Amino acid sequence: MPPVALELAYIVSGALFILGLKRLTSPATARSGNGLAAAAMLLAAVATLLDRSIVSWTTVVVALLVGTLVGVLLARLVKMTDMPQLVAIFNGFGGGASALVASAEFLRTTQTGAEPGLLVGITVAIGVLVGTVTFSGSFIAYGKLQGVVTGKPVTWPFQRTLNLLLFLGLVGVAVWMVVGPPDSALLGVLAALAFILGTFLVLPIGGADMPVVVSLLNSYSGLAASAAGFAIGNPLLVLAGALVGAAGLILTQIMCKAMNRSLANVAFGAFGGGGTAAVEDGDRTVRRTSPEEVALLLAYARTVVFVPGYGMAVAQAQHELKKLMDLLRERGVEVTFAIHPVAGRMPGHMNVLLAESDVPYDLLKDMDDANPAFQRTDVTVVVGANDVVNPLAREPDSAIAGMPILDVDHSAHVVIIKRSLSPGFAGLDNPLFYQEGSMMLFMDAKEALGALAREVKEA
């Protein structure tokens, strides 16, 4: 490929990456943004492979067909509730691929008898270190989200000391790779230590913090890709990695702010026991309700707010929720949805589910817009959410003290759809369940919303 054509392809690809990332910031444009970014990656990969004459057209086409088939199968077969796990796997493969690219460049250079330059040595070491940490850490995160690995924090004596020693060992090996004689064995030692460090860093983090961890690992995968781009001298890979790294870091900061916790607290706080903590009994009682009673309350309300949570995702209840919304709007009820930034298992989880069922985007309100309206809301229906509506966040001695929540308890009536009184991932009981004006509908979310839709239709 002529150099001018390659540079032009990279410029177009870089522009598409930036435009695609911009369009991903809104649910209304996210699908087209994803398509633009995919087209950018396709253009960049094909142009690079043809320019370097690494593979033939036949190999490129076969690879495209195989990749397309795998992508289509994943898109069709993976449930929406499993999207966080899929994102974690993507992060892991991205980090692993970057580590392999950096390693291949180091081995190629040493096999020719030449010594890698200072820049190549540093970027190779960073690419292998960060990429391998991302790879192992992401698969531990996947295991915790999938339930293969316990969601409880896994801790052991001298844990932080051991991690510090591992990190110092990694730095020592990396420095020796850069300043010492070329040695492929050091590459293997670096990768092995990084693999162990990635595992040890994520194991002590509880299931409640896995969305933040996945976001941070996404940033790591971008950093690893950027380092690999420097190692092989590919400016587009540097750009793409930097975009991913920056976006992941910004998203991580947003999520930490939404939980009122620092990144250090997430990484070292061992918070979130996977929702297995015992519920306080005491003398408190809950008001049980039925679909018939809730349907009457909804049918004759002026304003209704739905608060979706992970329980809705697990039950795949978004389509039933859309039917109920349509019936209420036909009766003249004002319906909106309040979305907490960390509802579900990844940012935008609830938005994606509701968009899948064709809920209009303008009905989705973020926390800052939704909270002032709760005092004027007749009925708030909480569908499988827990920690994001827990008033304990307002208590200074609570484990979630200061975490911004949706102020659903300010509504005239609150209906909570849950299977039981079990706590959320934070492992805390929720006083909302027992307060005056709250009603518990103990049912599967999909069954409950379906029953409510039938009753509202007959009301």
Scanning the structure block, which residue is given the tokens 């809104």?
Answer: 26
User: For residue 103, which amino acid is it?
Assistant: S
**Residue 180, burial from CB neighbour count under 10 angstroms (0-12, 13-18, 19+):** exposed
> Two tokens at 159?
């844990």
The Cα–Cα gap between 43 and 47 comes to: 6
Spatial contact of 252 and 212, defined as CB atoms under 8 Å apart: yes
Q: 209, 387, 407, 409: which is the annotated catalytic residue?
A: 387
Kind and range of the H or E run holding 365: strand 364-366
The Cα–Cα gap between 145 and 442 comes to: 25
DSSP label of 335: E
Question: What is the C-alpha radius of gyration for the chain, rounded to an integer number of angstroms?
Answer: 25
SS3 305: strand
Of 353, 351, 328, which Cα lies nearest the Cα of 340? 351
The Cα–Cα gap between 251 and 214 comes to: 10
To the query of whether residue 366 is one of the catalytic residues in this protein, the response is no
SS3 276: coil
Please give the backbone phi and psi of residue 241, each rounded to the nearest 5 degrees, phi first: -65, -40
Contacts of 294 (CB under 8 A, 6+ apart): 381, 415, 439, 441, 452, 455
Enzyme catalytic residues: 387
